[in-house]
Structure 1
Amino acid sequence: MSVIHHVIDRLKLNVSNIEGVQSIRPILDLERVLPLYDLYDAFASIVWCRNRGVDKNQTFLQENVNTLRTLVGY
């Protein structure tokens, strides 16, 4: 079996798995949920920088501050 056919078979299996899960409970709308994960990740990363040294991790801190500002519109 070629790699392409293997990938197609795996995708078909995943679709049937999703359909099975949907019969039990609805699948989350990722368009609405993923920004919350981005918010959580940025906030947790800022705490990580605070705990491990803001000066040593200034670039990483600033990236996450910018992410938070973008997400909250500040």
Structure 2
Amino acid sequence: MCLFLLITEDTCGGTVGGGSGVVTSPGYPNNYGNQADCTWILLAEPGDTISVIFTDFQTEEKYDYLEVEGSEPPTVW
């Protein structure tokens, strides 16, 4: 299993590999700014499993979404 580490307060998106930890939005636990476009790429070796566990997740209806690519089948929330 491969988990990822990134704890950030002012960055929105990036590429992460190795370790374990937390990915957060800018300013968490406060709201992030309007027009935020955050794309996180989680890298793993072929055959590794990436586990994503949400402990606090909110979106603004009609504006925000979560898309997970690389899953079988692709998933959008």
* TM-score calculated relative to the size of structure 1: 0.22
User: As a proportion of its length, which structure holds more strand?
Assistant: 2
User: As a proportion of its length, which structure holds more helix?
Assistant: 1
* TM-score calculated relative to the size of structure 2: 0.21
